[in-house]
Amino acid sequence: MLNLITNNSFYAILKSMENKIKIGLIGLGTVGSGVYKTLQNFDNIEIAKIAVRNKNKKRNIEGLDENIITDDPYEVVNDPEIQIVTELVGGLEPALDLIKTAIKNGKHIVTANKELLAKHGEELFKFAEANNKVVLYEAAIAGGIPLIMPIKTILAGNKINKIKAILNGTTNYILTKMDTQGASYDEVLKEAQELGYAEADPTGDVEGFDAAYKVTTLATIAFGKRIKIDNVYREGITKIRAEDMQAANEMGYKIKLIASAEMDEDGKADVRVHPMLVPLTQTLAHINYVTNAVSLSGHPVGDVTLSGPGAGEFPTASSVVGDILAIASELGKTDYLLPMMRCHHSENAQMIDISETKNKYYLSITAQNSMGVIGRIGKACEDNNISLASIVQKEVSSGKAAIITVITELCREKDMQKVINILNNDNAITQVNSLIRVQI
């Protein structure tokens, strides 16, 4: 696996430099601490200044020089000696203004800010190019998994047309625990929060925002066209039930939150994040707990899957430091650094609305245990051009309620939604419990 931190050629280049490369860090949390500790191994890199929110916070970092710490991030971006600014605080503001100020002051940028890239990437990259500066962001997509640089270099000769990925460790942990324990979403979420795998407010993760930000930038890079975050369909995991996990297992699937992006033959992009039933024959079905994985399909390479830690102090620091070293190795050698790593997009992708997509579906229905119910479900599907792969009445509860599980053949989302509307208004149907798309 590519390991940018321990690459001997990078280290030799840095050793040969007469002057130290001065780095400014904005943020000294989990990732920032890992970056600081890792950079201590490089004699020709100097962390000149670090901006934090609270200067008085106790930090368990050996050898940390308190004199370089400030609570004013503009001291970092305005320092004339700093050559590379590393932004690790996240969010939109003041991150965007800080980065643009640093670029205007002649500094190159390394960031792990997925939200900023998804929402303001076009503005940021254009501004950087106008000022002949580089913005690198390997850590913003999949933590410690080398991804952006391989796509832009090793895989540059490929036409990538499909991405299927698990890009959020929190949701993958929750779904794995629900699967292995047979527990409810609420039970596992509470456990994940107690263990520190989920935030006190987990919305960004469990509602799919984090994965949507990441796949937006990833698809933009892979497809060579800008993907607009506003056009990315997003659905979280909060409605997934323990019963769905059991049913998926019985049918040969695992439920995962999948970040998906495809480019069709007409150049239209389908980019979305939502739960999926993933067949056990697929690699992503076996990616568990906090591990991330990205499967790419393209020509001529075929199918490639990269997996590893998607977050954490040192895995993410690995990607951040790799970007820092990539920039540092070019400083003083050329007036136009890292041309292959720069943004070269000139057009926006035409997006396919979720209603026009074609999918297979898993459907769980609670209905009255009366004659003709399964026929009515089948008729609703038939009237809306949906063929059924299977329909099973799994059990009858003591209250005479039937649990019916349906798997459809490939059909349009808008037709499936019509069927859901019909079922919700059918007196024989107690409840549509779940509708989950099935990975093809």
Residues noted as catalytic? 214
Q: CA 354, 358, 364, 367 torsion: positive or negative?
A: positive
Distances in Å between the Cα of 242 and the Cα atoms of 199, 237, 428, 432 are: 22, 12, 24, 15
Q: Which two structure tokens, joined as six digits, stand for 269? A: 């992009």
Residue 62 CB partners (closer than 8 Å, separation 6+): none
Q: Cα(248)–Cα(328) distance, rounded to whole angstroms?
A: 49
Specify whether the CB–CB gap between 127 and 98 falls below 8 A: no
Q: Cα(289)–Cα(173) distance, rounded to whole angstroms?
A: 4
b/e burial code for range 294-314 (CB count within 10 A of at least 16 → b): bbbbbeeeeebebbbbbbbbb
Q: Which two structure tokens, joined as six digits, stand for 124? A: 């940021």
